[in-house]
Amino acid sequence: MHPVVWLALAMALLTAGVAALALHRRRSQESEPAFAPPVLGKAPSAPPPPVAEPAPPTPKSAHAAALTLDLDAARMSASLVNATLAYRITLNAGADIEEIILRGDMTSAHASRPDEEQFGLNEAPILHRLARIEAGSTTELGGEIRLPLAMITPIRHGSAAMFVPLVRIEAAGMAADGPVRVRSAFVIGLDEQGAARLQPFRLDQGPRVYQQVGSRTLAVPAFG
C-alpha cells in the first residue's frame, strides 16, 4: 500500500468529527513492522471483563453540568529535552463552585499502549487552583505542559518519527449540592492552512516551534 495511504490512516485519529476512538490494535507478523495508525483501544478479540456489581454514580455523572472545560492549543515547541504545549483552558460554570483544582498532563498516543495508560491521570500535576467561580461565569486560564522527549513513544514511518500529543485535563471542585469533577482529553496536531485534518508533529527534524496548532476533543473511557 502506498505510504500516503498509511499516513492518511494515522491522521484519521485527528479528524474534527471524531467522537470516539476505535478499539483495536494491529499486530504485524512481518520481520519489519509496517507503519500503523495510533489506535487507542483494546483488541476486539480480548475476552469481556467479568461482570461487577453496579457502582454508585460518580461526582462526574451527577454534577458534570455544573462545570464544563475546553482546551485551545496555542503553540507547540520541541527542544532537545522536552515537547512543550502552550494552552488556554476555558471553564464555564453552571453553578457556584469553590476550591477548584485543575490537574493535567500530556502523553503520546500510540497503538501499543492500552487505554488505561493513555487516558489515566493517576498523579497528574496541579496546573491551576481557583478559590471560587460564579454560576454563569467563564474563566480562562493559560499555561504550559511539558513532556520529556524520552517519554514519547514515536510513530515510525520510514525514517520519520512522528508524535501525536494527547492532553488529559481534570477539573474538580465543590458545589452547594456536592463535589464536581469533569475530565476531558484532547488530541493536538498541526493545523495547517487548507489541510482537512490535523497533522502529527515530527520528532526527527530537530528543535523548532509550531505556531499553527489545533486541538480536538476525545471521548474519555468510563474508567477515566
Is 45 a residue whose pLDDT tops 80? Answer: no
For residue 14, give the DSSP letter: G
Helix (H) or strand (E) holding 62: helix 59-63
Please, which pLDDT band fits residue 102 given cuts at 50, 70 and 90? very high
Looking at residues 79-101, what average pLDDT do you find?
A: 96
Q: What local confidence, expressed as pLDDT, does residue 61 receive?
A: 42
Contact (Cβ atoms closer than 8 angstroms) between residue 107 and residue 209: no
Q: What percent of the chain has pLDDT over 90?
A: 51
Query: Measured between alpha carbons, how far is 71 from 206 in angstroms, rounded to an integer?
Result: 27
The pLDDT tens digits of the residues spanning 77-88 come to: 999 999 999 999
Is 30 a residue whose pLDDT tops 70? Answer: no
- Per-position b or e across 74-104, b if 16+ CB within 10 A of its CB: eebbbeeebbbbbbebebebbbbbeebebbb
Q: What local confidence, expressed as pLDDT, does residue 172 receive?
A: 95
The pLDDT tens digits of the residues spanning 46-72 come to: 444 444 444 444 444 444 479 999 999
Q: What local confidence, expressed as pLDDT, does residue 24 receive?
A: 37
Q: Record the pTM.
A: 0.69
Please, which pLDDT band fits residue 213 given cuts at 50, 70 and 90? very high
Q: What local confidence, expressed as pLDDT, does residue 117 receive?
A: 76
More confident residue, 93 or 34: 93
Q: What local confidence, expressed as pLDDT, does residue 194 receive?
A: 63
First-to-last C-alpha distance (Å) of the chain: 36
Average pLDDT, the chain: 76
Phi-psi region of 205 (alpha: psi -120 to 50; beta: other; left: phi over 0): alpha
- Per-position b or e across 186-217, b if 16+ CB within 10 A of its CB: bbbbbbeeeeebbbbbbbeeeeeebeebbbbe
The pLDDT tens digits of the residues spanning 137-193 come to: 999 999 999 999 999 988 988 889 999 999 999 999 999 999 999 999 999 999 987
Q: What local confidence, expressed as pLDDT, does residue 219 receive?
A: 79
Please, which pLDDT band fits residue 22 given cuts at 50, 70 and 90? very low
Residue count of the chain? 224
Least confident of 45-59, 103-117, 119-133, 146-160: 45-59
